[in-house]
Each structure stands twice: as C-alpha cells, then as structure tokens.
Amino acid sequence: MEVKHNESFGSGFLWGAATSSFQVEGAQKEDGKGLSVIDVMKKNPNITDFSVASDHYHRMEEDVALMAELGLKVYRFSIAWTRIFPEGNGEVNQKGVDFYNRLIDELIKQGIEPLVTIYHFDYPQGLVEQYGGWMSRESVDDYKNYAEFLFKTYGDRVKYWLTVNEQDHVVRIPSRLGLTGDDRYEQMRLGYQANHHMCVATAKTIELYHSMGLSGKIGPAVSYSMVHPATSAPEDVLASKDAMLIKHNYLLDLHCYGVYSKPFQKYLEDRQFTPKMEDGDLELMKQNPPTMIGVNYYFSETVQAFPVSEKYPLGYQKEALLAEAESGVFEVVKNEKLQATDWGWEIDPVGLRLTLRELHERYQLPIIITENGMGAYDKLEDDGSVKDDYRIAYLKEHIKQVKLALNDGVDVFGYCAWTFMDVVSGRNGMDKRYGFVYVNRENFDLKDMRRIKKNSFYWYQEVIQSNGEKL
C-alpha cells in the first residue's frame, strides 16, 4: 500500500544500542562471579572464549563515556545472574551488585536510560547441577527471586526490564539449557518443558513487578522475523504460516494470551513434546501479560513446503540448531530477491516493517527494537579508521522502515542497534563484529583492547542528534 509518509520519530524516541553481559564484560571468574552454562559449554576451538570478552567490566566508565559521546538515549545491557547469585540462588555476591550499581549510576549521570535484560543466555550452571535448571519446576521460583532482588536493588532507577532474551533460541540450543549428549529428540522434548517453565516464571515476575508498584515497562525480548513463502503455491504459503507459528508466534501467544493455540498443540502432541503443566499456569500468563515487547531483528527467511516421506518422516530436521527444515512443516530456501551478509543472513529491511506490523496487529503492545545490526569482518586501517560503510547502509535502510512502521500506526518507542561496541560473537568469536566502536583484539590476541570509533559511530551520532531525520 503506497501512502503519504509524514510520520517522524517522536521527541521522546529512545535511540540506543545493546550488548549482553557474557559477550562484553569478561572478568569471567573475578570478584565472586559463579559459572554459567556459557562458561562451561564445549568451546569451538577456532574462536575465543568469553573469559575476557571486551573487558567492559574493567573499562565500564570509559565505555559509558563513549556512549554519551555517541548520544545514546538508552543502553540495553544484561545482568549476569551469576555475578549476583554465583550459584543461581543462596548467597548474594556484593561485588557483583556493586558493579551494576556503578554502571546504572554512570548511565543516569550521562542521561542514558538503562534497559536491563534480566536473563540473556548465561543461566547459572549451579542450578543445572542442583536440579536440572529450566527443565525443573524449581527454576520458576529461583528466577522470580533473582528478579525480585534486581527490582528491589535497581528498580528505583531502571524503568525498562526485559525478562528473557530470545527464549526460543534457549529452547532450541541444548547448551544454553545446560544439556549434553546427542539425543536431539529428547533435547527438544526437554526444551519445550523448559519453555513452559520460562513462561510461568515470566508471568510470576510480571505479577511481582506490578505488586511492587514499579512504574515502567516489562516484557520479553524475542527473536522475530517474517517468514516469506518461496512461491505463490498454497502449500508454500501454508508452510510460511506454520513456520511463523512454531518459530515465533507460539511464544508470544503464551506470554500475551496464555494460550497454546490449537495448531501448536497439535504440533506438540504429534511429536510427543507436550510439556507438563500445573492447573492455573495458563491463567497466570493470561492475567499477567507483558507491557512491552522487545524485538531482535536481523533477517527474514523464505520457506517452501517440506512434505513427509519415507526418507523424511514426520519431525525430521535437516539442521540440529534452530530448525532450518522440518518435514511436515517447512524448509528454508534462498531468497533470490535479497542480498546476504558474509554469514548468509539475508538482508531484508522491509521485513522489519512487516515484522513490526505483524506484532502490532497480533499483540497490540508498545514495541522497542532491542537488537538490529550487521555482523561483518571489520578491518582496522593503517590510519586508525574503520570504514564500515556497509553497516551504515544496513542500519539506514532498517531505520527508514521503522519510520514507515510508525506511519502505519505501530507503537515503536525505541531502537537499539546491536551492538554498541564489538563483542565476542556466540559462534564466530571476534571475527564477526557488530559495534559502532571497534575493540582492538583478535580471537587469540588481546592486543591493547583500545576502543576505536568506526565510521558508523559518527553516522549514528548524527542520526540521534537529528532524531532520525538525517539518515
């Protein structure tokens, strides 16, 4: 639909950037921090671990000063659960508490709104060893107690809270649940049980948030993107609809409405993945929906039908991680209309507008984009610059689509680019860089860890200063 576009970003629009604790902080075993599932998972020998990361733990004041220079209105970061409770429950680690107090105070001093992710992949290994982690119902109260401590400690200064980051990725990546072994079927069954417990924990935490009289917004950060049909064939259109359900919408249907939709129930039943639940769980979710949705958007996907056959029985997955193809549902295929990043992620700015509209129409909640960015092999030039014009082009086109979504009537109140500074990528180490600030280290050579402003830093600075008018 072509219409006149005259919407602009409001005066209170939150321009920001994001990181996560395990990818940026380092200090993995310092000052009383306990081990998380990320710390103990099997490492890819070709990339670095997270023990030093970007050394933000020791350079926090320097980094926040750069955020202020960039002009950020909001900074999305996560709190490392095991810095607060080294074993996930029990004794509090005061040095961890103090670090986040200093960070939050420094942000506020610089006029930057803190946007806190309560849990971003780095689940306490101690809870996995105590009772199996998210697969156990005991996990619900430990998460709620952890969140309550954060609300009491930082809630006087933090107005925006994200409950769980990319819950569906946690469910589908066994190491993030602390699972080992090769039985993919059993891992998926346990994953959906863990998913249910995370939904119950989120609802109880939102209920607690309101009971404490905290004013602000709270909700999950979901990985969400449009799934296009490969052709106009009805089977492909159905495959795209089914893929949207089992990759994205099932999760927000639970968080926002307390519903396992009929098609999703059938999907679980057919595969014997239906989780155990207690009376009142769904009503609890229904009565305590989020008050905002955080959206992580990088790319869209295109799918075709993938019929069940003798070779590919029901539920067969060609890829173990994140279901790139599942017989009886869909198969991801290349979209010839789109270019891709060095890592094969198809660049689809219009897909972001479609995503925002889909979320608005289904859930009618305020939205903040919590991640959007382009990973690339950035190069530090001899003159000390980083010429990442490809990143500028990517972000520019996506921000244009956010503006168009506002014109469509979508309630988007903020945009956080991923990332503020280079962080250790979960699967690609320091090779895959996203930041506005270059961190001078390689996978196995820490160098001097200098912070170097990329071309995109200066570009985004102008975008923020002009409130999105200079793109």
Catalytic residues: 166, 371
Burial class (CB in 10 A: 0-12, 13-18, 19+), 211: exposed
Distance from C-alpha of 423 to C-alpha of 190, rounded to nearest angstrom: 30
Residue 291 CB contacts under 8 Å (≥ 6 apart), including other chains: 206, 217, 218, 219, 365, 366
Which amino acid is residue 29, in one-letter code? K
